[in-house]
Structure 1
Amino acid sequence: MMNTVGSKGLHQFVQFKQNIELTYETLTTSFFSNLGYVNIYEHVHIYGMIGTLGSEAEQDLLFRIYHIYFVKIPTYKAKQFRELPGIVVEDDEWTDRITVEILSFIDDGRAT
C-alpha cells in the first residue's frame, strides 16, 4: 500500500491547519538511492521513471555509469508557490513568530 502520510512535518502542519489532533511524524527506516534502484534492474532496460531524480550532479553520475538519459517534462499546471521574505529571530522567539504568522493567516481566512 502506498504511503499517504506527508513527510518533514507536512502531515502535522495540515493536521494543525485543520484543527485536528496531531500525530507523531513517521520516520523512514528504509531508503533506496537512485544508484541502488538502478542496480536492482541492471539486466533490464529501464524505459521510464517518474519523480524527482535529484540534482544535476546526480543525474550526470547516473548517465556516466549507466548511460541513462533524462528528459525534463514541465508540470501540467503552473506552480502557485510564492516565497515570502525570511524572518530572523533570537533563540526560542521563532515559535512565537510562527504562531503569530499562523494566527494572521487564520484571521485573513487563508486556513479555511
Structure 2
Amino acid sequence: MQIILIETFLDLMETRNFNRTAERLNITQSTVTHRINALEAMFARKLFARNKGGTQPTAAGLRFLDHAKALQHQWHEATRAVETAGAYERSMRIGLQHDLAAHYA
C-alpha cells in the first residue's frame, strides 16, 4: 500500500470534499478520485458515499480511519529511523575513570 493513498484518504476524511482535498494536496481532483478508487479496490469496499450533498465516509471508511492514522504514523517513524541510520556510525564512546581523565585531557 502506498502512503500517498493513506494521506489522501485522511485528508478527504477531514475535508469531506474531493476538490478541497485536491487543492490542499496540490493535485487534481481526478488524482484524488483515482487514489480513493485504488484504496476502495484494495478493500473491495466503498470508503466514501459520494452525492450532491457532499462526501460522507461509509462504515468501512470509518473503520479504516484509525488504522490509516496508525499507518501514517508508522510510516513517518520509519522514515525518521532510516534518515538517522548511520548518523553515529563513525563515532566512538570511551569510558574513563574520573581520576585518570585529568591526566589524559
> Could you say which structure has the larger radius of gyration?
2
Query: What TM-score, normalized to structure 1?
Result: 0.23
Query: What TM-score, normalized to structure 2?
Result: 0.24
* Structure showing greater relative contact order (alpha-carbon pairs closer than 8 Å, 6 or more residues apart): 2
Higher strand share: 2
